[in-house]
Amino acid sequence: MSLLQTRGLTVRFEGLVALADVDVAVGEGETVGVIGPNGSGKTTLFNALTGLYPPATGDIVFRGRSVAGLPPHRIARLGVARTFQSSRLCLQLSVFDNVLAGMVAARRTGLLEAVAWRRRARADMQAALARARHLLGLFNPDLPARGWERVGQLPQIDRRRVEICRALAAGPTLLLLDEPSAGMSPAETRALMKDLQIVRDERRGLSVIVIEHDMFVIEGVSERVIALNYGRKIAEGSFAAVVAHPEVREAYLGQEHARA
């Protein structure tokens, strides 16, 4: 029984089909890589899975229930967390605040407790902060000490780590990583691969879908690879099999030719 399953997932904008009839399944604890040229629908797939773009037709089943058409915050609360291609952190807020934002939804402390029941609200917050420190420390031992700095002051790679921490802070069962290596040097990408390993060790049973351009990252982390082009799934299987697939080769080589 897979954790996530889409059936005939289709997303349209003004008649333009961004995602056509895509079937994707992710098992528990599995890491799936998604590849495809620019504009092939990879990020659209994530946006559909997280509820930002409601599907035109098709269904998304997550943990046995249909989530197609649910608003993003409801889907997030069911256990789907994500990062964004161009990171979406609140640069004015502190590192801790950004990580804590991932835990907001799960908290039950209400307005009255925040105002009147100070001790409880404070204890709750301290526990959350401890968890944020722990998560940040997994990725970079220096990060917890910089927790009160504004995120805007961190280097790019640490921002990406903070964003992953925010996603993990929600305690998800499915984590969607949208091109974690975007805008990073090869050395940083290598560091990031180590981080992804940490993510999976930290939470056994966590399923991950990762979109990547960098084939080394894909090869290194994913157990199964899905290739998209023009919004359709063109190949699925092991990394070696997908890369050797003629349609995948054509999609990428065709692009190379167009570029040249």
Partner 1 sequence: MPPLELLLQQALNGLMLGVMYALIAVGFTLFFGVLDVIHFSHGDIYMLGAFAGLTALAAAAAGGVGGGALALVLAFAAAIVVTGLIGVAAERLCVKPLARASPLMTLLATLSLGLVIRESVLIFYPRGADPKPFPRLLPQGGFEIGGVSVRYENLVILAIGLAAMIAVDLVITRTRMGAAIRAVAQDAEAAQMMGVDLDRTVDATFFIGSALAAVAGILSGLYYSEIHFIMGITGGVIGFSAAAIGGLGNVYGAIVGGLVFGLLQTMAAALIPRGSEFRDVVAFAVVMLFLIVRPRGILGARTVERV
Partner 2 sequence: MILVWLTEALVFVLVVAGILAERPRALMLTAAAGAAAVAVPATVPRVRTALTRAFEAHRAAAVAGGAVAALALPFALRSSPYWTFVATLALLYVTIGQGLNLQIGTAGLINLAGAAFAGIGGYTVGLLTVSTGWPPWLAVMVAPLVAVAVGTVLFVPILKTRGHYLALVTIAFVFIFNVLMNNFEFTGGPQGIKNIPTLTLFGHRFTTAPRLFGVTLPAHANFYFACLVVTVLTTVIIRRLHDSWLGLALNTLRDDEIAARCCGISITRGKITAFCVGNFFIGLGGALYAVMVGFVSPPDFDFGYSLVMLSVIIIGGVDSIPGVVLGACLLVPLPERFRFLHEYRLLLYGVVIVLMLLYRPAGLWPAAVRRYR
Binding residues for partner 1, rule: CB under 8 A, are 13-14, 43, 47, 52-53, 84-85
Q: Which of residues 27-56 bind partner 2 (CB under 8 A)?
A: 50-52
Please state, in angstroms and rounded to a whole number, the distance separating the CA atoms of residues 136 and 158: 9
At closest approach, how far in Å is the CB of 118 from partner 1?
Answer: 32
**By CB under 8 A, residue 89 contacts partner 2:** yes
> Who's near 25: CB < 8 A, 6+ residues apart?
2, 4, 5, 6
Q: Which is nearer to partner 2, 76 or 248 (CB)?
A: 76
Per-residue interface string for the shown chain with partner 2, residues 114-143, x marking contact by CB under 8 A? xx--x--xx--xx--x--------------
Q: Which is nearer to partner 1, 47 or 207 (CB)?
A: 47
Q: Which is nearer to partner 1, 135 or 164 (CB)?
A: 164
The pair of structure tokens assigned to 258 is: 């167009």
> Who's near 70: CB < 8 A, 6+ residues apart?
51
At closest approach, how far in Å is the CB of 199 from partner 2?
Answer: 17
Distance of alpha carbon 15 from the chain centroid: 27
Nearest to 136 by CA among 167, 182, 178: 167
Q: Which is nearer to partner 1, 7 or 150 (CB)?
A: 150
> Who's near 141: CB < 8 A, 6+ residues apart?
none
Q: Which is nearer to partner 1, 14 or 256 (CB)?
A: 14
Q: What pairing do the DSSP bridges indicate for beta strands 207-211 and 31-35?
A: parallel
**By CB under 8 A, residue 166 contacts partner 2:** yes
Among 23, 107, 205, 241, binds partner 2 (CB under 8 A): 107
Please state, in angstroms and rounded to a whole number, the distance separating the CA atoms of residues 83 and 85: 7
By a kind-dependent CB cut-off of 5 to 8 A, residue 53 interacts, out of partner 2, partner 1, none, with partner 1
**By CB under 8 A, residue 194 contacts partner 2:** no
> What amino acid is encoded at 224 in this protein?
R
By a kind-dependent CB cut-off of 5 to 8 A, residue 14 interacts, out of partner 1, partner 2, none, with partner 1
By a kind-dependent CB cut-off of 5 to 8 A, residue 115 interacts, out of partner 2, partner 1, none, with partner 2
106 contacts 98 by C-beta, under 8 angstroms: no
φ/ψ region of 93 (left if φ > 0, alpha if ψ in -120 to 50, else beta) reads: beta
**By CB under 8 A, residue 86 contacts partner 2:** no
Nearest to 211 by CA among 202, 222, 199, 195: 222
Residues that bind partner 2 (CB under 8 A): 50-52, 71-73, 76-77, 81-82, 84, 88-94, 97, 100-102, 104-107, 109, 111, 114-115, 118, 121-122, 125-126, 129, 148-150, 166, 170
